[in-house]
Amino acid sequence: MSFCCGASMVGTKGTLKHYRTQVHNVPLLFCPVCHRVEVHYKVENEYEVLAEYAHSDGLSEIDFQDFIMEDEESIFGNCVNREDEDPLDLVQSQIDMSLDLLTVAKQIEDSKWEDELKKRLAVMSRRRSKLLQKNSKEMK
Ligand SMILES: [Zn+2]
């Protein structure tokens, strides 16, 4: 588990810019407090090698996933949410995180990532309203 600002960083995937090259699907760690984004420590070396290769080759885009076969579970396995968490809290924190990431996506002008996040947000807000409905029924 990585920490920043005393908060645990969240695992995600996104696009990073290395000079003029955009590297897609890079496993990242994101700090929900200060919005710092860093390459996941498990793929730091691979990222550097790949980004340098793409940059020296003059590629404008590259997909990290095409080169790295590390499975997602083993990368993000240590930053999954706890199971005993309230599903509503969970969905709410995922929404907050996606909103934060959306800000990052806009900052780096990654419209593909922005669209993905918007889709994810739509799905999660539907889930949230379902959970809210369920909760209010239980209270009656
Ligand atoms: Zn931070």
Domain ranges of the chain: 3-82, 87-139
Low-confidence ranges of the chain (pLDDT < 70): 1, 68-85, 138-140
Query: What distance in angstroms lies between residue 73's CA and the mean position of ligand 1's atoms?
Result: 24
**How confident is the model at residue 103, as a pLDDT?**
87
Q: What is the distance in A from the centroid of ligand 1 to the CA of 122?
A: 26
User: Ligand 1 centre and the CA of 31: distance in Å?
Assistant: 5
The confidence score (pLDDT) of residue 84 equals: 58
- List strand residue ranges (DSSP E) for the chain, in order: 3-4, 7-8, 10-18, 21-30, 37-39, 61-63
The rounded distance, in Å, linking the Cα atoms of 24 and 66 is: 10
77 CA → ligand 1 middle, Å: 21
Model pLDDT, residue 22:
92
Q: What is the CA(133)–ligand 1 centre distance, in A?
A: 34
Residue 127 Cα to ligand 1 midpoint, Å, equals 28
- Condensed to tens digits (0 to 9), the pLDDT of residues 20-50 reads 899 999 989 988 888 888 898 888 888 888 8
Element (H, E) at 27: strand 21-30
Task: Identify the pLDDT of residue 67.
Answer: 75
Report pLDDT for 60: 92
Angstrom distance (rounded) from CA 46 to CA 60: 18
